[in-house]
């Protein structure tokens, strides 16, 4: 590699890191949780009110402006292990039970 190639690669890396940092910094917190079952929106909840949401096969929790899946009766438990979400566009998906929790 030549000196110009190293400078170009370094500049691209720095630009990419700054762009990622800006994206993460300015990503807005959501205000609403949309609960979908079979890809149909069934419920809409404010993230400002703490509550536990009982669904047929899943239990979701809204607490302190964040959402997480407390329990599910599916085998793999990926939705439970996803953790908390709070940013607009983030989702928790339980494929076996066809449940989607989406932040708007």
Reported confidence tier of residue 19, pLDDT bands at 50, 70, 90: confident
pLDDT tens for residues 25-75?
766 788 999 999 999 999 999 999 999 999 999 999 999 999 999 999 999
Lowest mean pLDDT among 6-10, 26-30, 31-35, 99-103: 26-30
**Sheet containing 91-94, strands listed edge to edge, beginning at the edge strand earlier in sequence:** 40-46, 32-37, 99-103, 91-94
Burial label, 57 (beta-carbon count in 10 A; 0-12, 13-18, 19+): middle
pTM above 0.85, yes or no: no
In the block, tokens 């949780």 appear at 33
């Amino acid at each position: 590699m030549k000196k110009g190639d190293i400078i170009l690669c370094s500049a691209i890396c720095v630009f990419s890191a700054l762009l990622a940092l800006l994206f993460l910094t300015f990503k807005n917190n959501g205000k609403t949780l949309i609960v979908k079952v079979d890809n149909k929106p069934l419920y809409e909840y404010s993230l400002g009110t703490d509550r536990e949401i009982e669904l047929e096969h899943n239990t979701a929790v809204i607490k302190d402006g964040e959402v997480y899946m407390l329990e599910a009766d599916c085998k793999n438990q990926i939705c439970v292990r996803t953790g908390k979400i709070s940013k607009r566009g983030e989702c928790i998906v339980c494929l076996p039970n066809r449940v989607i929790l989406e932040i708007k």
